[in-house]
Amino acid sequence: MADLRSNFIGIKSPNPFWLASAPPTDKEVNVRRAFQAGWGGVVWKTLGLEGPPVVNVNGPRYGVVYGADRRVLGINNIELITDRPLEVNLREIKSVKRDYPDRALIISLMVPCDEPSWISILRAIEDTEADGVELNFGCPHGMAERGMGAAVGQVPEYIEMVTRWVKQHSRMPCIVKLTPNITDVKKPAEAALRGGADAVSLINTVNSITSVDLDLFAPQPTIDGKGSHGGYCGPAVKPIALNMVAEIARNPATANLPISGIGGVTTWRDAAEFMALGAGNVQVCTAAMTYGFKVVQEMITGLHDYLDSHEMEMSDLIRRAVPNVTDWQHLNLNYTTKAVINQDDCIKCGRCYAACEDTSHQAINIEPGRVFKVNEAECVACNLCVDVCPVENCITMRELEVGEMDLRTGRPVQPYSNWTEHPNNPMARAAE
């Protein structure tokens, strides 16, 4: 039986599924329920300075992108950090941690970019017995305009500076949470490492407008006729998050920097994908906000069964796909495939034909009786037919062996060769 117990930068939890800093971890009652449901850890929703707490809007906070059956595909929010008094949060954190010593409890922090503010908040959380801190350098709305959140995360020098303060003034493990609203995520990750971060977590939410009300002519959520950009999360942002995690994991400078994967983790499979690309654990929010805390049970059993069926431990999974992430120029340009339509499985919808004929390479023919056949002489193996076919595995890509004739080029398939050595590449010629 695979062991799901997790040790992330020294922080132990019974499983690698943590709840991300967000509404579900804003107060004791939720966190207790989460732990009862089986979550391995929580990152308590971001705390701010002492004194009057921040103020949230009193209208809707979320905008949603739906599938046809109102399946939630993505959510954005315009919520700020916790709007509850600091001392209440601290009291509750201490109380929860006392009752759940085996679970990970991380405190998310965000204060102005000056050293005394960070010293002050670190002192305030000192006796909560929490396992670590996560620096919120990601929130794209509200706090960023005040010089916090993403405003810090977008400037590597600030990340490094604040991280250094935190490591200097506390002994707690420190996770730096990164924003995706930046050109090259490797830079802030490197800055966090330089500042002494024990890990990074990513992604925070993506700047977004989910929809426009076509009667009010205002973005949603709409507050008194106006809308603002919010932070996008949920299944829709997973591809962005996976790429950013992989970028950090395969960057030699940050290859050993532990990563907590965040962004659209909805099932065990998503979690496994994040881990394969370098995440040591995952943080979940939208799935819990959509379906409730119970989803963690599927994640636990699913990851368990996957690891068992592949005879792997979690450590075998983590980073396993990283070596297979490469740059375009290293892809094998002689790797050749052709689409094959399984006529027994074909339901004759003709989507492959419409897509290929109208938008690709006219490589599918219709024969009498709505029989769709691939014309290999035209097929460039773009895979679009596979992508649009509604029947799983009805259309597959057949790999041509080296030496086999490619009917499109009229030449036999050659052994591995990539762009760096391709005759059309002027740089390749220059190197000769």
Partner 1 sequence: MSNSQLTPGVVPGRLTTEVYAVNFSDVAPPLDDHEARVAADRCYFCYDAPCVTACPTSIDIPLFIRQISTGTPDAAAKTIFHQNILGGICARVCPTENLCEGSCVRETAEGKPVQIGALQRYATDHLMDEGEHPFRRGEATGKRIAVVGAGPAGLSAAHRLAAKGHEVTLFDAREKAGGLNEYGIATYKAVDGFAGREVDWLLGIGGISVETGKALGRDLSLDKLRADYDAVFLGLGLQGVNALRAPGEDRGEVHDAVDFIRELRQSRDLSALPIGRDIVVIGGGMTAVDAAVQARHLGAQNVTIVYRRGQERMSASAHEQEHATSSGVRIICNAMPIAVHGNGTVREVEFAHTRDGANGLEETGERFRLAADQLFRAIGQTLHGHPEGLTLSGGKIAVDATGRTSLSGVWAGGDCATGGDDLTVTAVAEGRDAAEDIHTQLMGA
According to the binding rule CB under 8 A, does residue 354 interact with partner 1?
yes
Q: What three-state secondary structure class fits 178?
A: coil
According to the binding rule CB under 8 A, does residue 88 interact with partner 1?
no
Is residue 265 a contact partner of residue 303, using CB atoms and an 8 Å limit? Answer: no
Residue number with CB closer to partner 1 (29 or 347): 347
Residues 116-155: x where in contact with partner 1 by CB under 8 A, - otherwise, as a string:
----------------------------------------
Which pair of structure tokens corresponds to residue 41? 């850890």
Q: What three-state secondary structure class fits 382?
A: coil
Nearest approach, Cβ of 347 to partner 1 (angstroms)?
4
According to the binding rule CB under 8 A, does residue 353 interact with partner 1?
yes
Q: What three-state secondary structure class fits 71?
A: coil
Nearest approach, Cβ of 74 to partner 1 (angstroms)?
18
Q: How many CA atoms lie within 13 A of 398 on its CB side?
A: 13
How many residues lie near partner 1 (CB under 8 A)?
15
Please report, for residues 150, 151, 190, 260, 315, the alpha-carbon distance to residue 159 in angstroms, rounded to integers and kept in the order given: 10, 10, 9, 17, 29
Residue number with CB closer to partner 1 (1 or 68): 68
Residue number with CB closer to partner 1 (354 or 377): 354
Residue number with CB closer to partner 1 (367 or 432): 367
Considering the candidates 113, 139, 233, 346, report the single residue annotated as catalytic: 139
Question: Bridge partners of 226?
Answer: 223
Which pair of structure tokens corresponds to residue 358? 């109208």
Which pair of structure tokens corresponds to residue 63? 């905008």
According to the binding rule CB under 8 A, does residue 390 interact with partner 1?
yes
| Residue 382 annotated in active site | no
Nearest approach, Cβ of 346 to partner 1 (angstroms)?
9
Residues 15-54: x where in contact with partner 1 by CB under 8 A, - otherwise, as a string:
----------------------------------------
How far out from the chain centre does Cα 321 lie?
A: 15
User: For residues 126 and 122, what is the distance between their CA atoms, to the nearest angstrom?
Assistant: 6
Nearest approach, Cβ of 215 to partner 1 (angstroms)?
12
Nearest approach, Cβ of 394 to partner 1 (angstroms)?
10
According to the binding rule CB under 8 A, does residue 370 interact with partner 1?
yes
Q: Which of 391, 402, 405, 427 binds partner 1 (CB under 8 A)?
A: 391
Binding residues among 322-351 for partner 1 as defined by CB under 8 A: 347-351
> Which residue type occupies 163?
T
How far out from the chain centre does Cα 117 lie?
A: 30
Nearest approach, Cβ of 181 to partner 1 (angstroms)?
31
Is residue 379 a contact partner of residue 363, using CB atoms and an 8 Å limit? Answer: yes
Bridge pairing between strands 72-77 and 174-177: unpaired
User: For residues 405 and 401, what is the distance between their CA atoms, to the nearest angstrom?
Assistant: 9
According to the binding rule CB under 8 A, does residue 367 interact with partner 1?
no
According to the binding rule CB under 8 A, does residue 68 interact with partner 1?
yes
Q: How many CA atoms lie within 13 A of 253 on its CB side?
A: 11
Residue number with CB closer to partner 1 (130 or 389): 389
Nearest approach, Cβ of 216 to partner 1 (angstroms)?
16
Binding residues among 152-171 for partner 1 as defined by CB under 8 A: none
User: For residues 133 and 115, what is the distance between their CA atoms, to the nearest angstrom?
Assistant: 16
Q: Which of 1, 55, 69, 403 binds partner 1 (CB under 8 A)?
A: 69
Which pair of structure tokens corresponds to residue 42? 């929580």
Residue number with CB closer to partner 1 (49 or 355): 355
Strand ranges, E, within 275-419: 279-284, 337-341, 364-367, 371-374, 395-399, 405-406, 411-412
- List of residues contacting partner 1 (CB under 8 A): 67-70, 347-351, 353-354, 366, 370, 390-391
Please give the positions annotated as active site: 139
